[in-house]
């Protein structure tokens, strides 16, 4: 049976760049088509199996990374620090949730951004919006904002470099559980909010000491499974990296283990849903506060007609004031329908606001409140709060306000480095992990 991987081309595709020269795009796409896969189909299937466990309530997802990765950010230090933060969060969550934590980076491919406006105005000058390093440049000049298809190729190479580092760090001893826990102990002793986390950190100490005393030394203590993901926004890129798996004969988008559809491109009759319906990776769809249960069920029907657990994850991003009102009927109706989906909470995108200084920011308290609401809703319905999806970095940036080492609005200008949305910094991310752990105890 041949599978049509180009059926999406007949449908409206939102948020695609206007390439100045289609001929150049064709050359790039041709080259991408001949390059090696970044991930293997079998790895995507492993993640699908892990996400099936999440769907059954037997695992929890931690998905995180930059809003927009940059080519300049594909350095050993940047990647290591982001990974380190995610691994530190994962230990705390594993201990609290008492189930495996599936670790997925918004990494090695997160280079394209949907925009609410096509242009950006600064000091009376209007230029095309920045759409991610995969499309155009961040610099506010007319030249840099012209979409350049050769950037797709650069995105591939930057992804390869990042993924290579991730594989080396996670398999080469850096992810050693005891080492990662030692970093958490440092965080607890240095953070002004650390007292609050002391008890939990001590319990993890004791659990590790007990296992050591018993002579337990599993391979899992020394290396971790870590998966890559991105919003597959630019369909020409993800299509060019879709290959037929030689074992199963089925198509996989081999640019990442998991790909998701954003809130702005999830139209039922749109190109993204059509393309995603053809690939076999585990996939996600972002659901904002206007999503109706009927839309969610139609997405299930189109994207997971065989009702395979692990195939489809709904990433809800309602906003703290709305989640308790909007999420229950979605979860209730999807569950009543018998649909096998994993539910993940993105507590970032519904909680963005502009500070008086003009910086886009988020309050850690709002982020925590949305996660708390997510847990409350799922608990009340008897369904599984399957994970969290976070924008974060391993650096001490000042982009979100709040946290144990408190950032206030006046601090924002000090280290505001994001290429798109505001990210939790290292200590805010760890605060979040400890606070989510507390939700398991309440
Ligand atoms: C994002 O994840 O950066 C994003 C744009 O999210 P959403 O599609 O939910 O708005
Ligand atoms: Mn974002």
Q: Could you tell me which residues are annotated as the binding site for phosphoenolpyruvate? A: 106, 263-264, 286, 317
- What is the CB neighbour count within 10 angstroms for residue 299? 24
Q: Could you tell me which residues are annotated as the binding site for Mn(2+)? A: 67, 349, 391, 421
Confidence at residue 1, expressed as pLDDT on a 0 to 100 scale? 55
Tens digits of per-residue pLDDT, 284-341?
999 999 999 999 999 999 999 999 999 999 999 999 999 999 999 999 999 999 999 9
Report the nearest-CA residue for atom 9 of ligand 1.
263
The preferred substitution site among 106, 130, 262 for testing ligand 1, maximizing ligand atoms within 8 Å of CB, is 262
The contacts found for 405-411 with CB under 8 angstroms, 24 or more apart, are 405/191, 405/192, 405/193, 406/192, 409/355, 409/356, 409/357, 409/361, 410/357
**Residue in 162, 216, 189, 182 with CA at minimum distance from that of residue 91:** 182
Q: Give me ligand 2 centre to Cα 93, in Å.
A: 23
Question: What integer is the mean pLDDT of 376-387?
Answer: 98
Residue length, the chain? 442
Q: Could you tell me which residues are annotated as the binding site? A: 67, 106, 263-264, 286, 317, 349, 391, 421
* C-alpha dist (Å) from residue 237 to 5, 6, 25: 13, 12, 10
Contact by Cβ (8 Å): 87, 224: yes
Contact by Cβ (8 Å): 412, 398: yes
- Tell me, using a 6 A CB cutoff, whether residue 263 lines ligand 1: yes
Contact by Cβ (8 Å): 67, 418: yes
Question: What integer is the mean pLDDT of 70-87?
Answer: 97
Matching residue, tokens 């000091």: 123
What are the structure tokens assigned to 156, written together?
């591939």
Q: Give me ligand 2 centre to Cα 72, in Å.
A: 18
361, β-bridge pairs:
353
Query: What is the chain's mean pLDDT, rounded?
Result: 97
* C-alpha dist (Å) from residue 303 to 22, 49, 89: 30, 17, 31
* Helix runs in 129-176, H state only: 150-171
Ligand 1 atom showing the smallest separation from residue 420 Cα: 3
Ligand nearest to the CA of 232: 1
**Cα four-point dihedral sign 175, 111, 15, 24:** negative
Cβ neighbours for 282, distance < 8 A, ≥ 6 positions apart = 44, 47, 48, 51, 257, 258, 310, 311, 312, 313
Tens digits of per-residue pLDDT, 338-370?
999 999 999 999 999 999 999 999 999 999 999
Report the nearest-CA residue for atom 1 of ligand 1.
67
166, HSE (Cβ side, Cα atoms, 13 Å):
29
pLDDT at 194 over 90: no
pLDDT at 240 over 80: yes
The preferred substitution site among 233, 317, 351, 393 for testing ligand 1, maximizing ligand atoms within 8 Å of CB, is 317
Beta pairing class for 242-244 and 251-253: antiparallel
What is the share, in percent, of the chain residues with pLDDT greater than 90?
Answer: 96
CA–CA distance, 417 with 66 (Å, rounded to integer) = 11
Confidence at residue 442, expressed as pLDDT on a 0 to 100 scale? 78
Report the nearest-CA residue for atom 10 of ligand 1.
263
CA–CA distance, 421 with 220 (Å, rounded to integer) = 34
- Tell me, using a 6 A CB cutoff, whether residue 66 lines ligand 1: no
- Tell me, using a 6 A CB cutoff, whether residue 239 lines ligand 1: no
How many Å from the N-terminal Cα to the C-terminal Cα in the chain?
Answer: 52
Confidence at residue 45, expressed as pLDDT on a 0 to 100 scale? 98
Q: Give me ligand 2 centre to Cα 163, in Å.
A: 21
Question: What integer is the mean pLDDT of 384-410?
Answer: 97
- Tell me, using a 6 A CB cutoff, whether residue 289 lines ligand 1: no
Ligand nearest to the CA of 315: 1
CA–CA distance, 163 with 424 (Å, rounded to integer) = 22
Cβ neighbours for 427, distance < 8 A, ≥ 6 positions apart = 187, 191, 396, 403, 404, 405
Is this complex's ipTM strictly greater than 0.90?
yes
3-state helix, strand, coil in the chain (%, to 5): 45, 15, 40
Confidence at residue 441, expressed as pLDDT on a 0 to 100 scale? 83
**Residue in 244, 219, 267, 251 with CA at minimum distance from that of residue 114:** 267
Ligand nearest to the CA of 362: 2
CA–CA distance, 416 with 319 (Å, rounded to integer) = 23
What are the structure tokens assigned to 419, written together?
């290429």
**Ligand 2 is an ion; residues with CB less than 5 A from it:** 67, 421
Tens digits of per-residue pLDDT, 12-44?
999 999 999 999 999 999 999 999 999 999 999
């Amino acid at each position: 049976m041949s599978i049509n991987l180009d059926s999406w081309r007949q449908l409206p595709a939102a948020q695609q760049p206007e390439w100045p020269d289609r001929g150049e795009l064709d050359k790039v796409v041709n080259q991408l088509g001949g390059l090696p896969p970044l991930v293997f189909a079998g790895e995507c299937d492993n993640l699908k199996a892990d996400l099936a466990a999440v769907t059954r309530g037997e695992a929890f997802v931690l998905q995180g990374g930059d809003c927009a990765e940059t080519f300049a950010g594909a350095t050993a230090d940047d990647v290591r620090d982001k990974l380190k933060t995610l691994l530190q969060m994962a230990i705390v969550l594993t201990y609290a949730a008492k189930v495996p934590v599936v670790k997925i980076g918004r990494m090695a491919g997160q280079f394209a951004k949907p925009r609410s406006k096509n242009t950006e105005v600064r000091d009376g000058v209007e230029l095309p919006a920045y759409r991610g390093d995969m499309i155009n440049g961040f610099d506010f000049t007319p030249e840099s904002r012209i979409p350049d298809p050769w950037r797709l190729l650069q995105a591939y190479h930057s992804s390869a470099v990042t993924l290579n580092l991730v594989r080396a760090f996670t398999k080469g001893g850096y992810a050693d559980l005891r080492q990662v826990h030692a970093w958490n102990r440092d965080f607890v002793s240095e953070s002004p909010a650390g007292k609050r986390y002391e008890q939990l950190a001590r319990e993890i100490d004791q659990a590790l000491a007990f296992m050591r005393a018993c002579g337990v030394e599993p391979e899992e203590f020394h290396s971790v499974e870590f998966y890559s993901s991105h919003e597959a926004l630019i369909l020409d890129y993800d299509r060019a990296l879709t290959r037929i798996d030689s074992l199963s004969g089925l198509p996989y988008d081999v640019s990442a283990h998991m790909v998701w559809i954003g809130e702005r491109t999830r139209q039922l009759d749109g190109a993204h849903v059509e393309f995603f319906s053809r690939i076999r990776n585990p996939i996600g769809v972002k659901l904002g506060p206007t999503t109706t249960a009927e839309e969610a069920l139609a997405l299930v029907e189109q994207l997971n007609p065989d009702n395979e657990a692990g195939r489809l994850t709904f990433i809800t991003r309602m906003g703290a004031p709305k989640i308790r009102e909007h999420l229950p009927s979605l979860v209730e109706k999807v569950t009543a329908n018998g649909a096998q989906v994993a539910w993940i909470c993105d507590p970032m995108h519904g909680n963005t606001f502009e500070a008086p200084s003009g910086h886009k920011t988020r309050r850690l308290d709002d982020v925590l409140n949305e996660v708390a609401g997510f847990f409350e809703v799922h608990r009340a319905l008897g369904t599984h709060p399957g994970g969290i999806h976070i924008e974060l970095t391993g650096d001490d940036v000042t982009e979100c306000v709040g946290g144990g080492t408190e950032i206030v609005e006046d601090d924002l200008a000090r280290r505001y480095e994001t290429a798109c949305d505001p990210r939790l910094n290292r200590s805010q991310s760890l605060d979040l992990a400890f606070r989510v752990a507390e939700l398991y105890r309440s």
